[in-house]
Amino acid sequence: MIYTLTLNPAVDRELTVPAMEFDSVLRASESRVDFGGKGFNVSRLLKGMEEASTAVGFLGGNAGELLQNGLKNLGIGTDFVWVSDETRTNVSIVTQTHDHYIKVNEKGPLVDSAKQKELLDKIDSLAKRGDWWVLAGSVPPGVADDFYARIVNVLNSHEANAILDTTGEALRLGCAEKPYLIKPNAEEVHAMTGLPVGATAEIAAAAAELRKMGAQNVVISMGKAGAFMQSAEETWLTHSPKIVEKNPIGAGDSMVGGLVWALTHGIALRESLGWGVASGAATASLSGTEVGSRPLIEELFRQVRFEKFETV
Protein backbone atom coordinates (compact mmCIF):
# COMPACT_ATOMS: atom_id res chain seq x y z
CA MET A 1 0.00 0.00 0.00
CA ILE A 2 1.16 3.54 -0.78
CA TYR A 3 0.33 6.50 1.45
CA THR A 4 1.15 10.11 0.65
CA LEU A 5 1.43 12.48 3.59
CA THR A 6 0.86 16.21 3.07
CA LEU A 7 1.08 18.26 6.25
CA ASN A 8 0.37 21.61 4.58
CA PRO A 9 -1.79 21.03 1.47
CA ALA A 10 -3.35 23.79 -0.61
CA VAL A 11 -5.96 24.72 -3.14
CA ASP A 12 -3.78 25.59 -6.15
CA ARG A 13 -5.24 28.29 -8.36
CA GLU A 14 -3.50 28.93 -11.68
CA LEU A 15 -4.11 31.98 -13.86
CA THR A 16 -2.80 32.22 -17.42
CA VAL A 17 -1.90 35.68 -18.74
CA PRO A 18 -0.66 36.87 -22.17
CA ALA A 19 2.55 38.28 -20.70
CA MET A 20 4.07 38.95 -17.29
CA GLU A 21 3.86 42.62 -16.33
CA PHE A 22 4.50 44.26 -12.99
CA ASP A 23 2.63 47.26 -11.52
CA SER A 24 -0.24 46.56 -13.91
CA VAL A 25 -3.68 44.92 -13.90
CA LEU A 26 -3.41 41.58 -15.72
CA ARG A 27 -6.43 39.83 -17.21
CA ALA A 28 -6.39 36.05 -17.17
CA SER A 29 -7.23 34.27 -20.40
CA GLU A 30 -7.63 30.96 -18.54
CA SER A 31 -7.95 29.81 -14.94
CA ARG A 32 -7.99 26.46 -13.21
CA VAL A 33 -8.09 25.02 -9.70
CA ASP A 34 -6.13 21.94 -8.67
CA PHE A 35 -5.66 19.93 -5.52
CA GLY A 36 -2.22 21.01 -4.40
CA GLY A 37 0.45 19.88 -2.02
CA LYS A 38 3.47 17.74 -2.79
CA GLY A 39 1.95 14.53 -1.47
CA PHE A 40 -1.26 15.14 -3.42
CA ASN A 41 0.81 15.61 -6.57
CA VAL A 42 2.41 12.21 -5.92
CA SER A 43 -1.03 10.64 -5.52
CA ARG A 44 -2.20 12.23 -8.77
CA LEU A 45 0.82 10.80 -10.62
CA LEU A 46 0.17 7.39 -9.11
CA LYS A 47 -3.43 7.59 -10.31
CA GLY A 48 -2.09 8.29 -13.81
CA MET A 49 0.00 5.13 -13.43
CA GLU A 50 -3.15 3.21 -12.46
CA GLU A 51 -1.85 2.73 -8.90
CA ALA A 52 -3.97 3.23 -5.77
CA SER A 53 -2.82 5.46 -2.93
CA THR A 54 -4.31 7.07 0.16
CA ALA A 55 -3.71 10.75 0.90
CA VAL A 56 -3.15 11.56 4.58
CA GLY A 57 -2.52 14.87 6.35
CA PHE A 58 -4.23 17.96 7.77
CA LEU A 59 -7.25 19.67 6.19
CA GLY A 60 -9.51 22.49 7.37
CA GLY A 61 -12.52 24.58 6.36
CA ASN A 62 -14.17 25.00 2.97
CA ALA A 63 -10.84 24.76 1.16
CA GLY A 64 -10.21 21.45 2.90
CA GLU A 65 -13.62 20.15 1.84
CA LEU A 66 -12.87 21.19 -1.73
CA LEU A 67 -9.58 19.27 -1.64
CA GLN A 68 -11.04 16.12 -0.13
CA ASN A 69 -13.95 16.05 -2.58
CA GLY A 70 -11.62 16.71 -5.49
CA LEU A 71 -9.29 13.88 -4.53
CA LYS A 72 -12.22 11.50 -4.07
CA ASN A 73 -13.57 12.47 -7.50
CA LEU A 74 -10.17 11.57 -8.96
CA GLY A 75 -10.42 8.16 -7.33
CA ILE A 76 -7.76 8.86 -4.70
CA GLY A 77 -8.33 7.52 -1.20
CA THR A 78 -8.33 10.00 1.70
CA ASP A 79 -7.86 9.78 5.48
CA PHE A 80 -7.35 13.23 7.01
CA VAL A 81 -7.14 14.90 10.39
CA TRP A 82 -9.34 18.01 10.40
CA VAL A 83 -8.14 21.26 11.97
CA SER A 84 -10.13 24.37 12.87
CA ASP A 85 -8.34 26.87 10.60
CA GLU A 86 -8.74 27.09 6.83
CA THR A 87 -6.48 25.12 4.49
CA ARG A 88 -4.32 27.50 2.46
CA THR A 89 -4.73 28.66 -1.12
CA ASN A 90 -1.67 29.05 -3.40
CA VAL A 91 -1.76 31.15 -6.57
CA SER A 92 0.32 30.64 -9.73
CA ILE A 93 0.45 33.08 -12.64
CA VAL A 94 1.88 31.66 -15.87
CA THR A 95 2.32 33.13 -19.34
CA GLN A 96 0.60 31.64 -22.35
CA THR A 97 3.98 30.78 -23.84
CA HIS A 98 5.02 29.04 -20.60
CA ASP A 99 8.31 30.91 -20.40
CA HIS A 100 7.62 32.75 -17.11
CA TYR A 101 5.67 32.07 -13.95
CA ILE A 102 5.13 33.44 -10.45
CA LYS A 103 3.94 31.24 -7.59
CA VAL A 104 2.81 32.61 -4.22
CA ASN A 105 2.16 30.21 -1.34
CA GLU A 106 0.23 31.03 1.84
CA LYS A 107 1.64 29.87 5.20
CA GLY A 108 -1.20 27.49 6.03
CA PRO A 109 -3.39 26.86 9.09
CA LEU A 110 -2.19 26.67 12.69
CA VAL A 111 -2.07 23.03 13.85
CA ASP A 112 -2.11 22.50 17.63
CA SER A 113 -0.39 19.71 19.56
CA ALA A 114 -3.63 17.71 20.01
CA LYS A 115 -4.15 17.51 16.23
CA GLN A 116 -0.50 16.60 15.73
CA LYS A 117 -0.90 13.70 18.16
CA GLU A 118 -4.09 12.65 16.38
CA LEU A 119 -2.19 12.40 13.10
CA LEU A 120 0.71 10.48 14.67
CA ASP A 121 -1.79 8.04 16.19
CA LYS A 122 -3.50 7.65 12.80
CA ILE A 123 -0.17 6.88 11.10
CA ASP A 124 0.65 4.39 13.87
CA SER A 125 -2.65 2.60 13.25
CA LEU A 126 -2.35 2.60 9.44
CA ALA A 127 1.31 1.65 8.96
CA LYS A 128 2.04 -1.95 8.04
CA ARG A 129 5.23 -3.82 7.22
CA GLY A 130 6.31 -3.23 3.63
CA ASP A 131 4.04 -0.22 3.03
CA TRP A 132 5.45 2.85 1.27
CA TRP A 133 4.93 6.32 2.73
CA VAL A 134 5.83 9.50 0.86
CA LEU A 135 6.30 12.35 3.34
CA ALA A 136 6.37 15.54 1.31
CA GLY A 137 6.34 19.29 1.66
CA SER A 138 6.57 21.99 4.29
CA VAL A 139 5.23 21.89 7.82
CA PRO A 140 2.32 24.22 8.72
CA PRO A 141 2.43 26.81 11.52
CA GLY A 142 2.53 25.27 14.98
CA VAL A 143 4.31 22.09 13.82
CA ALA A 144 7.93 21.71 14.91
CA ASP A 145 10.74 20.80 12.54
CA ASP A 146 11.13 17.38 14.19
CA PHE A 147 7.62 16.26 13.24
CA TYR A 148 8.75 14.37 10.14
CA ALA A 149 11.45 12.69 12.24
CA ARG A 150 8.77 11.52 14.67
CA ILE A 151 6.73 10.15 11.76
CA VAL A 152 9.73 8.30 10.31
CA ASN A 153 10.34 6.79 13.74
CA VAL A 154 6.75 5.49 13.85
CA LEU A 155 7.00 4.06 10.33
CA ASN A 156 10.32 2.35 11.08
CA SER A 157 8.77 0.72 14.13
CA HIS A 158 6.28 -0.96 11.76
CA GLU A 159 8.97 -1.76 9.14
CA ALA A 160 7.25 0.54 6.65
CA ASN A 161 9.34 2.46 4.11
CA ALA A 162 9.61 6.25 4.41
CA ILE A 163 10.50 8.48 1.45
CA LEU A 164 11.16 11.98 2.79
CA ASP A 165 10.90 15.00 0.48
CA THR A 166 11.22 18.17 2.53
CA THR A 167 13.86 20.83 3.19
CA GLY A 168 16.03 22.50 5.79
CA GLU A 169 15.95 21.52 9.44
CA ALA A 170 12.96 19.21 8.91
CA LEU A 171 15.05 17.22 6.43
CA ARG A 172 18.14 17.19 8.64
CA LEU A 173 16.21 15.93 11.67
CA GLY A 174 14.31 13.46 9.51
CA CYS A 175 17.57 11.99 8.20
CA ALA A 176 18.63 11.14 11.74
CA GLU A 177 15.75 8.63 11.93
CA LYS A 178 17.13 6.73 8.90
CA PRO A 179 14.36 7.03 6.28
CA TYR A 180 14.58 4.63 3.35
CA LEU A 181 15.18 7.49 0.92
CA ILE A 182 15.37 11.28 0.76
CA LYS A 183 14.92 13.41 -2.39
CA PRO A 184 16.31 16.94 -2.15
CA ASN A 185 17.35 19.00 -5.16
CA ALA A 186 20.91 20.23 -5.64
CA GLU A 187 20.20 23.65 -4.13
CA GLU A 188 18.66 22.07 -1.03
CA VAL A 189 21.65 19.72 -0.70
CA HIS A 190 24.03 22.68 -0.76
CA ALA A 191 21.97 24.51 1.86
CA MET A 192 21.92 21.45 4.11
CA THR A 193 25.54 20.33 3.82
CA GLY A 194 27.36 23.53 2.89
CA LEU A 195 29.19 21.55 0.21
CA PRO A 196 29.51 22.61 -3.45
CA VAL A 197 27.26 20.80 -5.93
CA GLY A 198 28.43 22.17 -9.28
CA ALA A 199 30.19 19.05 -10.57
CA THR A 200 29.10 15.41 -10.46
CA ALA A 201 31.93 14.47 -8.08
CA GLU A 202 30.81 17.25 -5.74
CA ILE A 203 27.23 16.02 -5.82
CA ALA A 204 28.48 12.51 -5.02
CA ALA A 205 30.41 13.83 -2.01
CA ALA A 206 27.35 15.76 -0.80
CA ALA A 207 25.16 12.68 -1.19
CA ALA A 208 27.64 10.68 0.88
CA GLU A 209 27.40 13.35 3.57
CA LEU A 210 23.61 13.03 3.62
CA ARG A 211 23.95 9.29 4.03
CA LYS A 212 26.27 9.88 6.99
CA MET A 213 23.44 11.94 8.49
CA GLY A 214 21.26 8.82 8.39
CA ALA A 215 19.44 8.59 5.05
CA GLN A 216 19.71 5.03 3.69
CA ASN A 217 19.45 6.16 0.05
CA VAL A 218 19.78 9.59 -1.50
CA VAL A 219 18.20 10.83 -4.74
CA ILE A 220 19.12 14.35 -5.83
CA SER A 221 16.89 15.85 -8.50
CA MET A 222 18.74 17.91 -11.11
CA GLY A 223 15.92 19.32 -13.24
CA LYS A 224 16.38 18.87 -16.98
CA ALA A 225 19.62 16.97 -16.39
CA GLY A 226 17.83 14.12 -14.61
CA ALA A 227 18.75 12.80 -11.18
CA PHE A 228 21.62 11.43 -9.12
CA MET A 229 21.24 8.37 -6.90
CA GLN A 230 23.52 7.01 -4.21
CA SER A 231 22.99 3.94 -2.02
CA ALA A 232 25.37 1.94 0.14
CA GLU A 233 26.17 -0.25 -2.89
CA GLU A 234 26.13 1.99 -5.96
CA THR A 235 25.97 5.48 -7.43
CA TRP A 236 24.19 6.36 -10.67
CA LEU A 237 23.43 9.34 -12.86
CA THR A 238 20.06 9.05 -14.56
CA HIS A 239 19.74 11.28 -17.63
CA SER A 240 16.34 12.70 -18.42
CA PRO A 241 14.77 12.24 -21.88
CA LYS A 242 14.54 15.28 -24.12
CA ILE A 243 11.18 17.05 -23.97
CA VAL A 244 9.63 20.38 -24.90
CA GLU A 245 9.12 21.83 -21.43
CA LYS A 246 5.79 23.56 -20.82
CA ASN A 247 5.42 23.78 -17.03
CA PRO A 248 8.00 22.37 -14.60
CA ILE A 249 5.83 22.96 -11.51
CA GLY A 250 5.17 19.60 -9.84
CA ALA A 251 7.72 17.69 -11.92
CA GLY A 252 9.77 16.85 -8.83
CA ASP A 253 6.69 15.43 -7.12
CA SER A 254 5.94 13.36 -10.20
CA MET A 255 9.50 12.04 -10.03
CA VAL A 256 8.79 10.79 -6.52
CA GLY A 257 5.51 9.30 -7.71
CA GLY A 258 7.16 7.33 -10.51
CA LEU A 259 9.94 6.24 -8.16
CA VAL A 260 7.62 4.92 -5.46
CA TRP A 261 5.38 3.27 -8.08
CA ALA A 262 8.35 1.26 -9.34
CA LEU A 263 9.62 0.42 -5.85
CA THR A 264 6.17 -0.86 -4.90
CA HIS A 265 6.37 -3.26 -7.85
CA GLY A 266 9.70 -4.66 -6.65
CA ILE A 267 11.82 -2.86 -9.24
CA ALA A 268 15.45 -2.20 -8.23
CA LEU A 269 16.31 1.29 -7.02
CA ARG A 270 18.37 2.26 -10.09
CA GLU A 271 15.61 1.37 -12.56
CA SER A 272 12.98 2.80 -10.21
CA LEU A 273 14.76 6.13 -10.42
CA GLY A 274 14.52 5.87 -14.21
CA TRP A 275 10.75 5.59 -13.88
CA GLY A 276 10.86 8.60 -11.58
CA VAL A 277 12.87 10.68 -14.05
CA ALA A 278 10.51 9.70 -16.88
CA SER A 279 7.50 10.65 -14.74
CA GLY A 280 8.99 14.05 -13.91
CA ALA A 281 9.77 14.70 -17.58
CA ALA A 282 6.24 13.68 -18.57
CA THR A 283 4.68 16.17 -16.18
CA ALA A 284 7.07 18.97 -17.21
CA SER A 285 6.05 18.42 -20.85
CA LEU A 286 2.37 19.11 -20.15
CA SER A 287 0.45 22.38 -19.81
CA GLY A 288 -0.87 23.75 -16.54
CA THR A 289 -0.67 21.41 -13.60
CA GLU A 290 -1.43 18.20 -15.48
CA VAL A 291 0.60 15.12 -14.55
CA GLY A 292 1.98 12.41 -16.78
CA SER A 293 -0.13 9.44 -17.87
CA ARG A 294 1.14 5.88 -18.07
CA PRO A 295 1.49 5.72 -21.89
CA LEU A 296 3.54 8.93 -21.95
CA ILE A 297 5.70 7.86 -18.99
CA GLU A 298 6.36 4.45 -20.58
CA GLU A 299 7.40 6.17 -23.82
CA LEU A 300 9.79 8.52 -22.00
CA PHE A 301 11.20 5.73 -19.82
CA ARG A 302 12.53 4.05 -22.96
CA GLN A 303 14.60 7.20 -23.57
CA VAL A 304 16.13 7.43 -20.08
CA ARG A 305 19.90 6.81 -19.96
CA PHE A 306 21.76 5.38 -16.96
CA GLU A 307 25.40 6.20 -16.24
CA LYS A 308 27.24 4.43 -13.45
CA PHE A 309 29.38 6.77 -11.36
CA GLU A 310 32.43 5.36 -9.61
CA THR A 311 33.04 6.99 -6.25
CA VAL A 312 36.55 7.22 -4.81
Active site residues: 253
Q: Is 1 exposed, middle or buried (0-12, 13-18, 19+ CB in 10 A)?
A: middle
Q: Which helix (H) or strand (E) holds 80?
A: strand 77-83
CB 276 within 8 A of CB 284: no
Euclidean distance between CA atoms 95 and 283, whole angstroms: 17
DSSP 257-304: HHHHHHHHTT--HHHHHHHHHHHHHHHHTSSTT----HHHHHHHHTT-
- Helix spans in 74-146 (H): 113-126
